[in-house]
Structure 1
Amino acid sequence: MSLDISMWIWLPLSLAIILAFANKTKASITLLAISLIGGLIENRLNISGFVTLIVGIAIAHKTPNLERKWQIGSYIFILFWCVALFLHAIPGFRNAKVLDAVITGPQSIPFTMYLNLDKPFIFFGLLFAYPTLLGNKRTFNIKAIFLTAIPLFSLLPIAWGLGALQPEITVPDWWWLFLLNNLLLTCVAEEAFFRGFIQQSLSKQFGWIIGIAMASLLFGLVHIHGGLLLVAFATLAGVGYGLIYRYSSRLWVAVLFHFLFNFAHLLLFTYPMMK
């Protein structure tokens, strides 16, 4: 585990995300600005990366109030901006490698983890561009949520049965860092994009079944680097997260279950995969 003084910039960023979910907009933006300026000071972000983020956030902020013909183009720009941030394709970021080829257990393959400064901004861009991103409070079907969680978490033992994973109960000493990073930086960005933006947008146009199916398939395809079996399991997991988002009408619930699934994988099975 490699941590240095520059890691402080992820603290205001994480707090900004939490406050955004609590609808504390001004405080969230203030902390976001502190994180950005800190990134410049600590050389985790250069001017080109800074400008790219500011331009993206500014366009996202204007998008809901644009005329329809301009709004469509703006959403297309935001879509590509988000994808570029996901792929770390925008220059100007020096994300922090905090875990370098660590092994959770003797049956697991080495695992490397970064604290990303680019990917979390997907959440903020979409939050400005898509005011309904966080969901609404019209419904909260707790029974349906937990009935969905059963097949969702069953994917882990099914993967064991297919030989993709092995049981391996471990509590690595960096579990707390994984928790903070996966919950606040990774799952928030992914759920904001795939469920809050893609699923919600497609559901409004084509119905909720199409919305969940397409968002889940896209979520699966971004895991193609792990092979077709991982794509299939990620797609099925995406269906679970999508249904939980639909039944809860709250993005934070989908984020929570996404994280809990990943954390259960870390603690109970070979992570990220078996040798």
Structure 2
Amino acid sequence: MFHLNDLWPDGLVWLLLASTVLSLFFKPKMWPTLLSLTAATALSFARISPLALSIVVLGLVVAKQSQRLTGMYKAICHGFVIIWAAALVLHLIPGFSNLLVLDKVFSGSNSIPFTMYLNLDKPLIVFGLFLLVPSMLKQATSIARPQLIVLALLFASLPLLAWSTGIVKPEISLPTWTWIFVINNLLFTCVAEEALFRGYIQQRLIERLTPIVGITVTSLLFGLAHFAGGIFFIAIATLAGLLYGLTYYWTGRLAFAVAIHFTFNLLHLLLFTYPMAN
């Protein structure tokens, strides 16, 4: 059973991190200050080591310097930051003490056990990627009604397709830990994944190739990133990636892709077995 007391006082680190992530979308000039405060708090609570913090700072500095460079030097900086981001996502950098909040819990009687950490390393990639490609938070563009219909149909069909494969089953539930799931999934998972796949990979591919190739390749990569769930999970994740990719491309707002991604994940938790059927 998860209790609010389990988050105190260490949860202050993730409260500050959540504020920092939100500032990117609402007060972009504030995030360096808030991130510095988050880092200092994490260091004081031993949630990050001096070595890990140094590696984080190095990645951010390289990303920032890339804005002043061109050609081969700029490409090298991008390559370094992407490797840095991958290491953070895969928890390969030592010195992070992520907070375990759910340990083999069940969302319902037909669901498999679910474990969740409040990660400190993975969300940090958002800031490095934003420094690499500030345009990922570009202004919104108008979306046509046919495009909205396509997005709505794709969104509605995904749960049915997942159900038809047997990886999930209908199961209405409202776990006591839903609120912490909402915070973690929205701000620390969906924002990081959308920044990486749509804000960076898709946008860069579209700039160099075509929208069709960029969105398709990014969707496939997003699906493959969910390989642990099996072939059907990969297929559904690929189609979900297509939904998020089209949302970002047609609206021009990363926040909209994040919102659709999070809504899909939340409905998965509330209306179906989570993360999969047993």
Q: Give 3-state SS (helix, strand or coil) of 1:235's partner.
A: helix
Task: Report the alpha carbon displacement of residue 135 of structure 1 after superposing the two structures with TM.
Answer: 2.7
Could you tell me which residue of structure 2 aligns to residue 4 of structure 1? 8
Could you tell me which residue of structure 1 aligns to residue 218 of structure 2? 215
Could you tell me which residue of structure 2 aligns to residue 19 of structure 1? 23
Could you tell me which residue of structure 1 aligns to residue 61 of structure 2? 58
* Aligned equivalents of 1:154, 1:61: Cα separation in 2: 41
Root-mean-square deviation (CA, aligned residues, Å) is 1.3
* Aligned equivalents of 1:163, 1:4: Cα separation in 2: 39
Gapped runs of 5+ residues in structure 2? none
1:200 aligned onto 2:229: no
2:249 to 233, 246, 266: 246
CA contact (8 A) 2:98 2:120 kept: yes
1:131 maps to amino acid: P
1:167 maps to amino acid: P
Could you tell me which residue of structure 2 aligns to residue 167 of structure 1? 170
Could you tell me which residue of structure 1 aligns to residue 134 of structure 2? 131
Could you tell me which residue of structure 1 aligns to residue 33 of structure 2? 30
Q: Give 3-state SS (helix, strand or coil) of 1:93's partner.
A: coil
Task: Report the alpha carbon displacement of residue 150 of structure 1 after superposing the two structures with TM.
Answer: 2.2
* Aligned equivalents of 1:211, 1:152: Cα separation in 2: 20
Task: Report the alpha carbon displacement of residue 141 of structure 1 after superposing the two structures with TM.
Answer: 3.9
1:86 aligned onto 2:74: no
1:168 maps to amino acid: E
Superimposed CA distance per residue, residues 107-134 of structure 1 (whole angstroms, 9 cap, x where no aligned partner): 0001001101011111100111111111
Could you tell me which residue of structure 2 aligns to residue 265 of structure 1? 268
* Aligned equivalents of 1:268, 1:138: Cα separation in 2: 32
Aligned length: 274
1:128 maps to amino acid: L
* Aligned equivalents of 1:192, 1:143: Cα separation in 2: 26
* Cα distance change of structure 1 residues 77 and 158 upon mapping to structure 2, 3 Å threshold: same
* Aligned equivalents of 1:259, 1:253: Cα separation in 2: 10
CA contact (8 A) 2:161 2:236 kept: no
Superposition pairs for residues 93-112 of structure 1, below 5 Å?
Answer: 93-112=96-115
1:8 maps to amino acid: L
Q: Which shows bigger deviation, 252-261 or 161-170?
A: 161-170
Task: Report the alpha carbon displacement of residue 152 of structure 1 after superposing the two structures with TM.
Answer: 2.4
CA contact (8 A) 1:21 1:252 kept: yes
CA contact (8 A) 2:114 2:275 kept: yes
2:15 maps to amino acid: L
Q: Give 3-state SS (helix, strand or coil) of 1:120's partner.
A: helix
1:187 maps to amino acid: C
Task: Report the alpha carbon displacement of residue 164 of structure 1 after superposing the two structures with TM.
Answer: 1.5
Could you tell me which residue of structure 2 aligns to residue 190 of structure 1? 193
Superimposed CA distance per residue, residues 223-271 of structure 1 (whole angstroms, 9 cap, x where no aligned partner): 1111111111111100010001111100000000000000000000000
* Aligned equivalents of 1:105, 1:68: Cα separation in 2: 53
* Aligned equivalents of 2:127, 2:137: Cα separation in 1: 11
* Aligned equivalents of 2:216, 2:126: Cα separation in 1: 22
Could you tell me which residue of structure 2 aligns to residue 77 of structure 1? 80
CA contact (8 A) 2:107 2:173 kept: yes
* Aligned equivalents of 1:12, 1:86: Cα separation in 2: 20
CA contact (8 A) 1:213 1:239 kept: yes
What TM-score results when the alignment is normalised by the length of structure 2? 0.95
* Cα distance change of structure 1 residues 82 and 268 upon mapping to structure 2, 3 Å threshold: same
What is the percent sequence identity of the aligned residues? 44
CA contact (8 A) 1:127 1:133 kept: yes
Task: Report the alpha carbon displacement of residue 138 of structure 1 after superposing the two structures with TM.
Answer: 3.8
